[in-house]
Amino acid sequence: MLSADEAADLIEAIASRQDRAAFANLFRHFAPRVKAFIMRGGTDAEAAQEVAQETLIMVWRKAASFDRSRASAATWIYTIARNKRIDLLRRSARPIDTEDWLVVYAPEEEDAGKSVLAGQTYTRVKELLEGLPKDQLVVIQKAFFEDKTHTVIADEMKLPLGTVKSRIRLALRRLRQALEKDES
Amino acid sequence: MSRHPAPEELLLDYAAGALSDGRALALALHVALAPASRQTVDQLNAVGGALIEGEPEALLDDAALERALARVGKVMVEPRAVPAARHPGFDWAPPPLVPHLRPGMGWRRILGQFDEIRLDVPGDAYRVSLLRLEPGHGLPEHKHPGYEYTVCLQGGYTDATGNYGVGDFAVGPGGERHEPIADPGEPCISLIVVEKPIVLTGPWGRWLNPLVSRGII
């Protein structure tokens, strides 16, 4: 296992001295996990591996833009993997470099003190996901794993749209409570 | 503080990467301008991170790391990125809009009432446009057979559902008639994503709708 701090250290080592050993460590930890995550949505192993590979290459290129005070390594890598999935699997006709969220949404004063998203986030979010009622968890998982909108999820699960919306809102309320608990 | 945040289920669709490009752009602009929604998206991204961290390792073929190391040997680590520079003449455009602007892009007057710039955004939206209304001016009365997503980028407007300022997000349900009027002050500029051609419902609608549906106006 790689702790959140260790993972952030590795990204910073890439940024400051193009550290290949740090990249190899990061790759060993995250590439197989990104691949597994992408495969959950039904993507075949080969395409998922390509997404994982391209995600980690992007981590190398953009390492200097990583800001450990705003996001954990896993969170940042998730956003890169999500964008790579969009570029490689959905937009094959017209690949574009989707923007990096840490850069586009540079923090403003209003955000100061709100970034509890690094450090212990993983443990708290994991606890939250484990504690969610099954019907809420399924909707959240389908969105992330299968890259589907809530409308499509409602359709597939043969649920009224309002039911899916209220499950999402309940899950988000719990998420907010879990993440803001330690802030005060 | 955004008085009209995007619905949470749309923030989830956005954070999960499930939206088509036009709607993703609308959400990106809203999130750039509305701190509370930005925080929700940050939290959802953390869920994505936790889901990746919690994955069991999928087998990766042995050569994958070697190939990746060979690639990064030829790729420079880029300097810390900065948000895209403002586009001349479009000082009000938040960073996520900048990549969609082109030199020479200009406002086009429509029906003598408002100005439009159509954006070239791939995906399933019928039309992605910037609309500009002079203070006190409105759009012709119309309704939408499909959903409409609006993000206010400058000034403000008022319609039957409320008053909207910079960063506010509105989802127009299909079939609803509405007639937004720009607030006093600077011109109101919004990004509008419509899924289907609008239908004009005012006195001239009968004559103009065929042109609207053919994309002429």
Task: Write the pLDDT tens digit of every residue in A38-90.
Answer: 999 889 999 999 999 999 999 999 999 999 888 889 999 999 999 999 888 77
Cβ-nearest to A144 among B32, B47, B59 = B47
- Contact A53/B58, CB-based, under 8 Å? no
Rounded Cα distance between B132 and B108, Å, is 10
Contacts of A63 in chain B (CB under 8 A): 77
- Alpha helices, DSSP H only, in chain A? 4-17, 20-39, 45-62, 73-85, 101-104, 121-131, 134-146, 150-157, 161-180
Per-residue CA distances from A156 to A148, A171, B79, B147 (Å)? 10, 20, 44, 20
Per-residue pLDDT, averaged over A28-37, amounts to: 95
- Contact A61/B28, CB-based, under 8 Å? no
Residue B18 to chain A, least CA–CA distance (Å): 5
- Contact B68/A64, CB-based, under 8 Å? no
Percentage with pLDDT > 90 across chain A: 60
Stretch among A142-151, A174-183, B128-137 having the lowest mean pLDDT: A174-183
The pLDDT value given to residue A95: 45
- Contact A20/B73, CB-based, under 8 Å? yes
Contacts of A32 in chain B (CB under 8 A): 55, 57-60
The pLDDT value given to residue B7: 96
Contacts of A74 in chain B (CB under 8 A): 49-50, 52-53
Provide CB contacts within 8 A for A45, sequence distance 6+: A35, A39, B58
* CB neighbours of residue A60 within 10 Å: 24
Contacts of B32 in chain A (CB under 8 A): 104-105
Nearest CA in chain A to B83: A104
* CATH classification code of B107-213: 2.60.120.10
Which CATH class, in words, describes the domain spanning A121-180?
mainly alpha
The pLDDT value given to residue A74: 93
Per-residue pLDDT, averaged over A107-112, amounts to: 56
Contacts of A94 in chain B (CB under 8 A): 122
Cβ-nearest to A78 among B18, B39, B45 = B45
What CATH number matches the domain at A4-107, 1.20.140.10, 3.30.360.10, 1.10.1740.10, 3.60.15.10? 1.10.1740.10
Angle at B118 between CA B113 and CA B120, to 5 degrees: 175
Residue B57 carries which DSSP code?
A: P
Q: In the predicted model, is pLDDT for residue A119 greater than 50?
A: yes
Cβ-nearest to A64 among B61, B64, B78 = B78
Domain boundaries in chain A?
4-107, 121-180
Residue B14 to chain A, least CA–CA distance (Å): 8
CB pairs under 8 A between A and B: 208
Per-residue pLDDT, averaged over A159-178, amounts to: 94
The pLDDT value given to residue A182: 56
The pLDDT value given to residue A184: 46
- Contact B51/A176, CB-based, under 8 Å? no
Global ipTM = 0.90
Ranges of chain B whose pLDDT falls below 70: 1-2, 173-178, 198, 200-209, 211-217
The pLDDT value given to residue B110: 84
**To 10 degrees, the CA torsion angle through A176, A177, A180, A184?**
150
Contacts of A83 in chain B (CB under 8 A): 17
Contacts of B72 in chain A (CB under 8 A): 20, 23, 57, 60
* CB neighbours of residue A162 within 10 Å: 9
